[in-house]
């Protein structure tokens, strides 16, 4: 038996975030089709992802036999120094009229599905690139404080729920340096459009 010493790269910083709105069907349900435009934003201070897992113990012969774990969703919290107002209004399902008035809430308001992507920069110029294909905005903060003699950053938070998007209930897809990283793959290629399966990554790698 061989002992293998591994020295994984450490996280250095969060990179850009990416958003691509879903082309929902007539019932406002998620589809595998997305808008052509992918929005890139370099405003991120912090991103945290918490898995929501439900566990069920199965008993046999009076003792635990196994534990069934089911991943229900990922809860993503994004802290930003700023965020595009038009994009946020669309994520919230707000109504924007031609005169510029933005109306929030309302009985007919529907929050759209979107794909959310993020970049984790590792030391040694290594990367982890993530897509969460089926997301909805669940909460956002809007806080402001008075200015003082010294500058103080004022940040806002977006809370996003990432849901299972396929029959096997996958929630996200990602690539990471050192794990079969395709030779010609770049950040721009990976985020050119949401990736749902292996064939999408092959297309992104080829740049087609």
Instruction: Convert the pLDDT of each residue in 30-60 to its tens digit.
Output: 999 999 999 999 988 999 888 766 666 777 7
**Residue 94 belongs to a domain:** yes
Quote the distance between the C-alpha of residue 125 and its chain's center: 22
Helix (H, G, I), strand (E, B), or coil: what is residue 85?
Answer: helix
Average pLDDT over residues 50-78: 72
> What distance in Å separates the CA atoms of residue 66 and residue 86, rounded to the nearest whole number?
48
Total domain count, the chain: 1
> What distance in Å separates the CA atoms of residue 101 and residue 105, rounded to the nearest whole number?
13
**Residue 134 belongs to a domain:** yes
**Residue 78 belongs to a domain:** yes
pLDDT for position 146: 60
**Residue 5 belongs to a domain:** no
| 91-105 pLDDT, tens digit each | 999 888 888 888 888
Whether 120 and 11 have beta carbons less than 8 Å apart is answered as: yes
**Residue 82 belongs to a domain:** yes
**Residue 1 belongs to a domain:** no
Q: Is the pTM of this model over 0.75?
A: yes
**Residue 58 belongs to a domain:** yes
Burial tier of 118 (Cβ tally within 10 Å: 0-12, 13-18, 19+): buried
Q: What's phi and psi for 107, nearest 5 deg? A: -70, -25
Average pLDDT over residues 201-206: 91
CB atoms within 10 A of CB 140: 16
Range with lowest mean pLDDT among 120-129, 140-149, 170-179: 140-149
**Residue 118 belongs to a domain:** yes
Burial tier of 62 (Cβ tally within 10 Å: 0-12, 13-18, 19+): exposed
Which residues constitute the domain of residue 27? 11-144+151-206
Whether 190 and 205 have beta carbons less than 8 Å apart is answered as: no
> What distance in Å separates the CA atoms of residue 113 and residue 67, rounded to the nearest whole number?
32
> What distance in Å separates the CA atoms of residue 138 and residue 93, rounded to the nearest whole number?
11
pLDDT at residue 26 greater than cutoff 70 = yes
CB atoms within 10 A of CB 133: 28
């Amino acid at each position: 038996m061989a002992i293998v010493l591994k020295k994984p790269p450490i996280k250095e910083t969060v990179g850009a975030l990416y958003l691509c709105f879903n082309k929902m069907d007539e019932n406002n349900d998620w589809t595998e089709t997305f808008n052509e435009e992918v929005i890139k934003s370099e405003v991120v201070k912090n991103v945290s992802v918490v898995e929501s897992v439900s566990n069920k113990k199965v008993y046999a012969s009076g003792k635990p036999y196994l534990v069934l774990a089911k991943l229900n969703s990922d809860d993503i919290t994004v802290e930003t120094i700023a965020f595009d107002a038009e994009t946020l209004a669309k994520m919230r399902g707000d109504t924007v009229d031609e005169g510029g008035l933005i109306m929030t809430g309302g009985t007919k308001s529907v929050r759209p599905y979107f794909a959310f992507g993020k970049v984790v920069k590792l030391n040694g110029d290594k990367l982890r690139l993530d897509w969460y294909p089926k997301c909805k905005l669940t909460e956002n903060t809007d806080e402001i404080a008075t200015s003082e003699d010294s500058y103080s950053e004022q940040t806002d938070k977006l809370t996003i729920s990432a849901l299972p998007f396929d029959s096997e209930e996958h929630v996200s897809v990602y690539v990471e340096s050192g794990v079969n990283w395709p030779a010609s793959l770049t950040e721009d290629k990976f985020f050119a459009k949401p990736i749902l399966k292996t064939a999408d990554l092959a297309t992104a790698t080829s740049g087609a």
